[in-house]
């Protein structure tokens, strides 16, 4: 059995910003191979894994491989690098963090996001949020030439990278839990279904470029033509000081989050009830996600072709879209257990 911690660690530590998912896709393909009846990579880079059931009923599972990151935009005479965001960053969270540039020959070049020292700031500037355009990356070079010799070129992808680790008893911390947590849920689900009698034929789509506009999910859904779809996410856990209860989409330790509505999608009530019913039957704790913030791949999938009956299940994660996010291993395990049970019953959902 795949160890949940080790699986999340490997997926989170692998880089893959939108459009540059090759490395994480290779890792996922290697791990899922034993559970797959067929695998293919499409023109955009989506990895679609088929697990045949007794019937032709097509159940699409979706998780996005990409993580938010940056791209090298400009290298100046002194060797400082300007970078542009790829995905939704909050600039307040970026200064002084460590970044890794991934060069064309797969070298890793580390640098720090530099900023003007507080001693030199003009009065009033300390209260201002420094925008990404004003930041630079310092890789220890002294000239443009030296940066070039490190193998860095304009257009290279950049990730924030703090190695995955455990904090407390049940909590893990790392980059990219959005959405490597969802990718890991799909992998554990496929593993759990090994040898099981399942009616539905499952298409597990590990898709590209969610963070740039749900791109991979849209084309994957078109190809698969699913009868039903579930998007898996690492979603906003906001059970923390400063957030009143009605504004907390989910909390940690309360089990998988079943979405009722988000910013892009109202989940059909019978899908919500089917997921709740599965959790109750299996004795799995769950929570309902209501506040209509954000969106997921399901926003694109449910509008594919003539429309797809869809749902969203998420692992609650604190601090997503920041350099480090956290989640509970128990929530993660309960999410794949819920999903595996749902896959077995999918064709009976009325
Ligand atoms: Zn996501």
Residue 124: the pLDDT is: 83
Q: Which domain holds residue 46?
A: 4-67+175-348
CA of 63 to the centre of ligand 1 (A): 8
Please say which residue of 90, 125, 160 terminates a domain. Answer: 160
pLDDT one-digit tens code per residue, 7-31: 999 999 999 999 999 999 999 999 9
Q: Please compute the mean of the pLDDT values over residues 186-215 and round it to a whole number.
A: 96
- Give the pLDDT score at 290: 86
Residue 127 banded pLDDT, cuts 50, 70, 90 = confident
- The DSSP bridge partners found for residue 69 are 86
* 294 alpha carbon – ligand 1 mean position (Å): 9
Looking at the structure, tell me whether residues 299 and 190 fall in a common domain. Answer: yes
Does one domain contain both 241 and 330? Answer: yes
43 in a structural domain: yes
Single out the residue in 137, 160, 183 at which a domain terminates: 160
Please report, rounded to a whole number, the percentage of residues in the chain having pLDDT higher than 90: 88
Query: Does residue 331 fall inside a structural domain?
Result: yes
pLDDT score at 32:
98
Which of 100, 36, 27 minimizes the C-alpha distance to 65? 27
CATH value at residue 236: 3.40.630.10
Q: Are residues 50 and 193 in the same domain?
A: yes
User: How remote is the CA of residue 231 from the centroid of ligand 1, in Å?
Assistant: 10
Domain-located, residue 170: no
Rounded to the nearest angstrom, the distance between the alpha carbon of 321 and the centre of ligand 1 is 9
Q: What CATH number corresponds to the domain at position 106?
A: 2.40.30.40
Q: What is this structure's pTM?
A: 0.96
Q: 335 and 316 in one domain?
A: yes
Per-residue model confidence (pLDDT) at position 57: 97
Residue 272 lies in a domain: yes
Q: Say how many Å lie between the CA of residue 282 and the centre of ligand 1.
A: 26
- Asked if 209 and 303 sit in the same domain, the reply is yes
Q: Are residues 150 and 39 in the same domain?
A: no
If asked whether residues 259 and 344 sit together in one domain, one would say yes
pLDDT at residue 348 greater than cutoff 80: yes
Average pLDDT estimate for 157-177? 96
pLDDT tens digits for range 34-44: 999 999 999 99
CA of 143 to the centre of ligand 1 (A): 37
pLDDT of 145-154, one tens digit each?
999 999 999 9
Same domain, 199 and 318: yes
Boundary residue ending a domain (132, 160, 188): 160
132 and 79 fall within a common domain: yes
Instruction: Tell me, yes or no, whether 14 lies in a domain.
Output: yes
Residue 227 lies in a domain: yes
* Integer Cα distance of 272 and 306 in angstroms: 21
Residue 214 lies in a domain: yes
Whether residue 211 is found in the same domain as residue 325: yes
Gap from CA of 297 to ligand 1 centroid (Å) = 8
Do 126 and 244 reside in the same domain of the chain? no
Distance between Cα 288 and ligand 1 center (Å): 18
Q: Let me know whether 131 and 255 are in one domain.
A: no
With respect to residue 98, please indicate whether it lies within any of the assigned structural domains.
yes
pLDDT value of position 170: 97
pLDDT in tens, 69-118: 999 999 999 999 999 999 999 999 999 999 999 999 989 999 999 988 87
What amino acid positions are annotated as catalytic residues? Answer: 210
- pLDDT-derived band at 126, boundaries 50, 70, 90: confident
Give the distance (Å) from ligand 1 centre to CA of residue 29. Answer: 20
Q: Domains in the chain: how many in total?
A: 2
């Amino acid at each position: 059995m795949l160890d949940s911690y080790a699986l999340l660690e490997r997926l989170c530590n692998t880089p893959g910003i939108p459009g540059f998912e090759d490395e994480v896709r290779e890792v996922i393909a290697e791990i899922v191979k034993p559970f797959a009846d067929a695998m293919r990579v499409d023109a955009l880079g989506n990895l679609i894994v088929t697990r045949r059931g007794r019937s032709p009923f097509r159940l699409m599972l979706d998780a996005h491989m990409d993580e938010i990151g940056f791209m090298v935009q400009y290298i100046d005479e002194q060797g400082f690098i300007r970078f542009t965001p790829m995905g939704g960053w909050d600039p307040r969270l970026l200064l002084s963090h460590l970044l890794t540039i991934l060069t064309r020959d797969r070298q890793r070049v580390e640098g720090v996001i530099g900023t003007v020292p507080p001693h030199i700031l003009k009065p009033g500037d300390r209260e201002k949020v420094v925008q990404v355009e004003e930041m630079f990356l310092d890789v220890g070079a002294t000239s443009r030439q030296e940066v070039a010799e490190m193998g860095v070129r304009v257009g290279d992808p950049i990730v924030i990278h703090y190695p995955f680790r455990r904090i407390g008893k049940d909590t893990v911390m790392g980059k990219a839990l959005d959405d490597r947590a969802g990718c890991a849920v799909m992998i554990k689900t496929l593993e759990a279904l090994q040898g099981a009698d399942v009616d539905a034929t499952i298409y597990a789509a590990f898709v590209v470029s969610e963070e740039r506009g749900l791109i991979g999910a849209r084309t994957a859904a078109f190809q698969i033509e699913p009868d039903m779809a579930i998007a898996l996410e690492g979603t906003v856990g906001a059970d923390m000081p400063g957030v009143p209860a009605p504004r907390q989409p989910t909390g940690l330790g309360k089990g998988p989050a079943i979405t009722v509505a988000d910013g892009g999608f109202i989940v059909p009530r019978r899908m919500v009830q089917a997921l709740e019913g599965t959790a109750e039957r299996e004795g799995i704790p769950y929570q309902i996600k209501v506040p209509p913030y954000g969106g997921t791949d399901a926003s694109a999938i449910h509008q594919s072709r003539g429309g797809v009956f869809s749902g969203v299940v998420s692992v609650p994660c604190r601090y997503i879209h920041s350099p480090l996010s956290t989640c509970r291993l128990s929530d993660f395990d309960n999410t794949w257990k819920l999903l595996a049970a749902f896959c077995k019953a999918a064709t009976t959902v009325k």
